[in-house]
Chain A
Amino acid sequence: MSRGRNFPITVAPSCRREATASKLQTVEAAAKQGGTSPQIEAEKYQIDWGSLVASDPTHHSQSIPSSRFVFRVATIKISFLPNGVLDWSPDRAETPSFTTAGADEGTELVQAIPDSLFALPSSDDPDGPVVLLPQPTTKLPREKHLFDEYLVLSGTKCNEFVFWAAFSLARIEFPVIFPLAFSCDKLLDLPEPKPPTKWELFAKMKGIKKHKKEKHALDEQAEPGEDPFSKRKAEKKKRIEKQEKNRPGNLKQAAKVGALPRLSLFPKLPRDIELRWNLATNGSHAPKKASKKELEDVAGMAATATASGGKFDKKIARGEISQAHWEFLLLVERKGMSSQEKQQTAKILDQLMSKSSHDILDVNKARFVAITMFNVKAEKQTEEGKGTRHISYSKEAEAKNGNPLKNLQKRNTR
């Protein structure tokens, strides 16, 4: 069975509904006056057009519960179909059907409603004539309570008084709702409106409104024929070229001021620019030789140019070459010990052996210790016999006892 809902549910303005109601009333009044059409007998009945209810309070029920038979009534206007409803044939008088005395009354009543309804102005829909119904007059109770917003502005004085009384006398912030009607299930209560957030307040104050960002933004500057990406590339190239041209001039200016060290800490310039640079700064095409001070400055700058400012790097004393640089020393002759290598090794040896270097090997101390040990030993041996207590190192002792450092020396020169 298809749904018979063929009326749109729209909220028409109340003025239209009132118009309908008034029109119906005029129809009723016309009927009362003595009516143009005999069909309208609305004055007898109470009709609620909004809910399509007609009631006839004037009817007195005469029916006897036991008798449910058909009986002919003179006021019947409508003829019933034989295959349906009310059968007048005496054969079927026994069978009960729509048979009370009120049957015809019912039909009359029902007739009364559309009598007026069809007289109303109707808007033509493809489904059929649609008529605007007035508000129903029979008041039926609501399903759920009304929430606060609507309770405040109420038509009746009584309610208003209740509201103001509760509000002002009882010092209650919100209107009083009768506890009986209060729902125990919080889900049914309307939630209170959320307080605006800080941003919302700020935006309101400043007049900031939300802008919906479009995904596709039309690029107004773009011309239809060109490729913007290649254009961008070309522009970038131009910019780079320009900068390159400006760069020496900038550096010159900086050097004039003294913001740059004279030495080239920056990567190599193109040859022609370098020559020009040299000419500008030195007066000749050759690069200026750096003074010791400058070198030291630069070295210092380089040393501190690490992430931690050179703090954790090993301090290399002046003149010393770090271990890493050994690899990069030029080996002039690969075979055998070349002069440079020789020099290097000799140098190291000198360092080790030199009297001034304290931290590598203190040769005198070593000699001293060795001699002491030797003499103590010798003393022990000659302790029974009278041996000399004093320890001296002299040529005579050496001749006697042998060079105590002989072995030692041997070890050293290996």
Chain B
Amino acid sequence: MLKLKTPKTHRAKREIEKRAPKFVENGKKTLILHGTKTSGVLNTVLTQIYHLKRDNAVKYTKKNENIRPFESGGETSLEFFSLKTDCSLFVFGSHSKKRPNNLVLGRMFDHHIYDLVEVGVENFRPIESFEYDKKLTPRIGSKPFFAFVGEGFESVEELKHLKEVLLDLFRGEVVENLNLAGIDRVFVCTALSSSTVFLTHCALRLKRSGTAIPRMELVEVGPSMDLVVRRHRLPNDSLKKEAMKTTSGQPKKKIKNVSSDVLQGKMGKIYIPDQKVGGITLSSDVKGLKRERREAKKRKVGIENEAKKRKTAAD
């Protein structure tokens, strides 16, 4: 997809239109992949995250050795995959001695890396280890609640960043209408220390209470893990500004009679209403009227003279 391809079928054209930048965007898709070396725990983590986000996630199974998100050259593959699958979130897992059970959660803007958070997974408990009533299992695609407990999420920069990323990752599509009967799940994140967050996924049970508002009951169902923030990279300011741009939503108002040219700059057109030439009253001092006035005078004088003559004749 690096060369410019024009769609030749209607189907392809529609696909491209789906991926085009829009004012109200589609839900973000996640790409889950791993590097050369992974551990058992990490594999389970990745698969379970994939299960949580089944509808809008893509999981790659191959080893990718040339992906190093924090290095300057190591992100080209990631960007390419993001472009190909139209994913703007990614979860990259790797395992090494220095960074065991490493997860890199990242976001993309225009298919280029926007920001990254590197976390280590500790004390992971998979879905299978929880015992619960199977009827309570949250359904795929249901909108989750979030609970962030702890002051760390406000004060510590890394945790703030992580909070944002987790929100982005698990939020799903932004909706306006919510069916209250469809509330299924909640993600509870507790800031244990300035660098550790305990993340767990619970199902919600709405219990009958006396009032119209039901009682919430949390039943832990999903994977729970401790995330230790290792390093993170925030976006640079200009990029952030660009990404956070929003407008009121109305397309620009057409400014009439203003045009711009590269040579002349901004130009405006002024429309003058038609002059009613016939209706304009001429001033009495106009030179052209001189002759007329003169003649009028002569006539007047002539009439007077005649009148005088008649008078004298009569006399």
Contact = CB atoms under 8 A, between A and B. Distances in A.
Given A127-B181, A150-B23, A55 B153 contact: yes
Contact of A97 (B19, B20, B193, B220): B220
A110 interface: yes
Contacts of A144: 21-22, 25, 88, 109-110
Given A151-B245, A188-B20, A58 B132 contact: no
A182 B111 CA distance: 10
A392 B240 CA distance: 132
A6 B193 CA distance: 38
Contact of B147 (A55, A100, A136, A172): A55
B164 interface: yes
Interface string B210-248: 011111111110001000000000011011111111111
B248 A61 contact: no
A178 B236 CA distance: 13
B213 A1 contact: no
Interface in B234-287: 235-236, 238-253, 260-262, 265-266
B181 A61 contact: no
A240 B314 CA distance: 96
Given A130-B178, A151-B247, A7 B149 contact: no
B217 A187 contact: no
Interface in B153-199: 153-154, 163-164, 167-168, 171, 173-184, 186, 188, 190-193, 196, 198
- Residue among B142, B152, B164, B177 having the largest count of chain A Cβ atoms under 10 Å: B177
Interface string B133-155: 10001111111111111111110
B49 interface: no
Contacts of A61: 149-152, 190-193
Interface stretch (A80-88, A272-280, A281-289): A80-88
A111 B216 contact: yes
A153 B245 CA distance: 11
A343 interface: no
Contacts of A171: 262, 265
Contacts of B192: 61, 63, 65, 100
A219 interface: no
Contacts of A128: 179-182
B140 A183 contact: no
Contacts of A102: 149-150, 188, 190, 198
Contacts of B108: 143
A6 B140 CA distance: 11
A185 B177 contact: no
Chain B residues touching A, range: 35 or more
A168 interface: yes
Nearest to A40: B213
A8 B179 CA distance: 8
Given A57-B151, A58-B151, A147-B21, A9 B178 contact: no
B146 A53 contact: yes
A207 B80 CA distance: 49
Interface in B56-95: 83, 88
B109 A145 contact: yes
Contacts of B154: 55, 57
A54 B245 contact: no
Given A110-B216, A149-B251, A9 B175 contact: yes
B313 interface: no
Contacts, number: 320
Interface string A178-219: 101111011111100000000000000000000000000000
Nearest to A14: B249
A141 interface: yes
A2 interface: yes
B110 A98 contact: no
A59 B239 CA distance: 33
B218 A7 contact: no
Nearest to A128: B181
A117 B180 contact: yes
B303 interface: no
Interface string A124-141: 010111111100101111
Given A51-B167, A60-B151, A145 B242 contact: yes
Nearest to A174: B260
Nearest to B145: A52
B204 interface: yes
Interface stretch (B1-9, B35-43, B293-301): B1-9
B204 to A, nearest CB: 7
B44 interface: no
Interface in A344-388: none
A17 B175 CA distance: 11
B144 A52 contact: yes
A159 B22 CA distance: 20
A396 B147 CA distance: 156
A409 interface: no
Given A65-B192, A187-B19, 4 more contacts: A3-B55, A3-B140, A7-B143, A7-B178
25 contacts: A2-B140, A4-B182, A5-B141, A6-B182, A17-B176, A54-B146, A57-B150, A59-B149, A85-B132, A110-B145, A110-B188, A110-B204, A114-B183, A118-B180, A118-B212, A127-B182, A129-B179, A129-B180, A133-B178, A144-B109, A152-B252, A172-B262, A173-B262, A185-B2, A188-B19
